[in-house]
Structures are given as C-alpha cells and as structure tokens.
Amino acid sequence: MTTALINFFKDITNIFKGGPKYYMLMGILGAILAVGLGAYYLQVDRGLIITAMRDQVAWGFYIANFTFLVGVAAAAVLLVIPAYLYKFKPIKEVVLFGEIMAVTAIIMCLLFIMVDVGRPLFVWHMLPVIGTINFPASLLGWDFFVLNGYLAVNLAALGYALFCYSQGKPYSLKILLPIVIFSIPMAFSIHTVTAFLYGAVKARPFWNVSILGPRFLASAFCSGPALMLLVFQALRKYEKVDIEDKAIFKISEIITYALGINLFFLFVEIFTDFYSHTLNGASMHYLFFGIDGKTNLVPFIWTAVVLNLAAFAIMLTPKYRYNYKTLNIALVMMIIGVYIEKGMGLVIPGQTPDPLGEIYEYMPTTPEMLISIAIWALGAMIFIALTKFALPKIKAAKNFDH
C-alpha cells in the first residue's frame, strides 16, 4: 500500500518538470497571479471600497464569475451520463479530464467567494460545529455543503481512478460507478442551490423567478462542456492524448440541445416581463434597453444574445458542427455569450434598480478585474498541474478495457 501511494504521488514532481514552453506558460500565469495578489493586498488593506460595489449593488464581478463557474463545474457530469449510463466508450476515456475541470472550477468558485467577503479571516463562522452555520434557513449554508460535497466527490472519483492507473491496473467499476452516479445529482444540486441562492430573494423580482433553476442548468450544459471541448482539442494537439472525434462530436451535439433550451428559457423570461409590463420588469428593461440613459449593460447583453444565437445557428447545422474550425468559433461565441448572460447579466440587473428605485451603474474597477483575472490564471495553473499529474497515468491506462 505504501509503495502504491508513493507511486501515486511520484508524478507530483512532474508538475515542476517541462519544456521551455511549459515554463513560459506557467511563468506568465504566475505573473498574472502575482499582480492579482498585489491588488488583493490593496483590497485587504483598504477594504472592498476599491471595487465598484456599493450599498446599491452589493454583489458584483466576483459573484458574477462565481455564478458562471458553478456552471462550468457541471462539465464532468455531462460527460458522465453518456459514458457510464449509456456505455458510450469514446467519452468514457475523457471523463477524467472533465473531473479535473470540475475540481478546478469549484476551487475557483470558493476563491471568488473568499475575495468577495468583507472579513475573510472570519469565514470560519459559517462552518458547521466550530461556527454557527445557518442551516437549513440560509441558501448560502446549502451552497457550502453542496459545493464542498461536489468537490469531495470529484476528488474521490479522480483520485481513485488515478490511483488504480498508477498501480498499473484498471479501476474497478464496482467502486467507481457508485461515486460517479452520486456525482450526477450532486452536479444538479450545485446548480439548483446556486440558482435558489438568487431565487430565494423575494426583494429582487428579477431573481425571484422559478425559471432561474432550469435556466442555470441549461446554460451550465452549454458553457462547461464547450470549454471542455476546446481543452480536449488542445490536449490532443499538444499532448498527443488519444481523444476520438466521435467523443467530441457527441458532446457538441448535446451542447446544441442545451443551448437551444437555454435560449428558449431566456425568451420565456423576456416575453413574460415585457408583455406583462409590471414595475417588476424594471430590471429586465434596464438590462436590455437601459433606464433614463443609464445603459451600461445594454451593449453586453445584446452581444451575448447575438453570440448565443449565432452559435446556435452554427451548431444546428451538421455541416458546420462537424467542422472543427466552425465548431470552435461557435464554442468560443457560446462561452462568451453565457459568461455575460449568466454572470454580469444576471447578478447586476437583479440589483438594479435597487429596492428604493435608485439606479447605480456598476462597472468593475481595475483592481477588481485584476483580482478576478488572477483567480482565472490560478485556475488555469491548477488545471494544467492536475492534468500534468494525471496524464502519464491516463496514457498508460489507454489499453485497459474497462
């Protein structure tokens, strides 16, 4: 057992070994991270006043990124369903990368929460047992459990599979399958709970709608897997990982349905708000058309709508979906589209106008951006490091027939 564990961790040193290109990539990401750390020091020192958030819009870019990334974390489960439930082998081989992405995304989510709180030293107050977590009343309490639970489940599945590989034997489906099956409802729950985090707020009519949960799921099934497909292609090209075309095209087909459903949900919301034209529709109006000349979000949301529609048109056409060039264009458009729509496009209009009718136009400040970009850079570093750790094991296991 001990030698097995040593073998398992031996590849950790791999993370620090690589060609000049690898060092350069990690160096650049590290530099971005360092700049962000500087900005974060400024934030700790002076307070969140260095961000553009104020009492009127108390949640901003950090929480927008958090919300988007919860969606990305679902990527793994989308791959798991066809791989294990329908025994679609080509996807099965890439499931582990999906899990690495899920782990990375959840870590980034937790970091975005940490940089957002005003007194980060005291977050232990919301732990169970040693703190006073407000469970089950607070949806943030629920989010604490499901996010950490999802992280644990994915780490367990990933760790177990890699551990078996490092011993030179295939993993036992008897052990892995229950974990993987359990991760499916967990993935649904992280989205549902995060959607309820907003949906629970009756003070904000833009969030307090029942379609929010389904909308979260639909958009998660677009952006996460889209990001994965780009990563797969990169792995195939630079690391010579054997990923079949069939797997990529199957996933892109699923994404197409999800994007269609997501667009439909958005349309349903737009219809309800604009047709009924109650005062509760003010947020939607602010988002799409602005109010009283305050139009900060307008160009963004229209960009998102156009990108998502165009991506959907490309993906719907088999000729373009099976062509890597056009497929990748559509994927990038979709990721940006969902990032806007489900990030800033959800968080900011929910708070604008504020409960007393004031319109405060929120736009993140430079330090706020630097801190957020740094978390993305750190996320990339974590993903690359985990992949580098796992790659030799996955490659060696290529010949196993599970």
Partner 1 sequence: MIKNTRKHPAAIDLDRRTFLKGAALGAAAMALPPADADAGFLESFFQKHFREMSDEEIKKVIDRLEKDYSKQFSKEVKVKATKPMENVVFGYGLDIGRCIGCRKCVQACVEENNQSRDPQIQWISVLKMKKGAKMADFQTADKYYQPEQVPEPGYFYLPVQCQQCEDPPCVKVCPTKATWKEKDGIVVIDYNWCIGCRYCMAACPYGARRFNWGTPNVPAEQLNPNTHYLGNRPRPKGSVEKCTFCIQRTREGRYPACVEACPVGARKFGNLADPNSEIRKAMEHFRVFRLKEDLNTKPQFFYFFGVKSNRAEGGK
Residues near partner 1 (CB under 8 A) are 46-49, 51, 53-56, 58-59, 113, 116-126, 129-134, 137-141, 144, 197, 200-204, 279, 282, 291, 350-351, 353-359
Residue 147: CB minimum distance to partner 1, A: 12
Residue 118: CB minimum distance to partner 1, A: 2
Burial of residue 393 (number of CB atoms within 10 Å: 0-12, 13-18, 19+): buried
State which residue, 172 or 366, has the beta carbon closest to partner 1: 366
State which residue, 258 or 348, has the beta carbon closest to partner 1: 348
**Distance of alpha carbon 381 from alpha carbon 104, whole angstroms:** 9
Q: What does 336-364 look like in DSSP terms, one character per residue?
A: HHHHHHHTHHHHHHHTSS-TTS-------
Alpha helices in 239-365 (DSSP H): 245-276, 282-289, 298-316, 318-321, 324-342, 344-350
Residue 67: CB minimum distance to partner 1, A: 13
- Angle at CA 218, nearest 5°, toward 216 and 222? 110
Question: Residues 375, 377, 381, 384: what is their CA dihedral angle, to the nearest 10 degrees?
Answer: 120
**Distance of alpha carbon 141 from alpha carbon 313, whole angstroms:** 40
Residue 236: alpha-carbon gap to chain centroid:
22
Contacts of 270 by beta carbon, 8 Å cutoff, 6+ apart: 284, 288
State which residue, 1 or 129, has the beta carbon closest to partner 1: 129
State which residue, 27 or 47, has the beta carbon closest to partner 1: 47
Residue 53: CB minimum distance to partner 1, A: 7
State which residue, 132 or 172, has the beta carbon closest to partner 1: 132
Q: Which amino acid is at 220?
A: A
Residue 373: CB minimum distance to partner 1, A: 22
Maximum Cα–Cα distance across the chain? 69
Residue 288: CB minimum distance to partner 1, A: 16
State which residue, 173 or 203, has the beta carbon closest to partner 1: 203
For residue 353, is the peptide bond before it cis, meaning its omega torsion is within 30 degrees of 0?
yes
Residue 133: CB minimum distance to partner 1, A: 7
**Distance of alpha carbon 356 from alpha carbon 128, whole angstroms:** 35
State which residue, 208 or 326, has the beta carbon closest to partner 1: 208
State which residue, 19 or 136, has the beta carbon closest to partner 1: 136
In this structure, the chain runs to a length of 402
Residue 299: CB minimum distance to partner 1, A: 22
Residue 255: name the closest of 331, 145, 351, 193 by CA.
331
Residue 48: CB minimum distance to partner 1, A: 5
**Distance of alpha carbon 71 from alpha carbon 342, whole angstroms:** 9
State which residue, 45 or 401, has the beta carbon closest to partner 1: 45
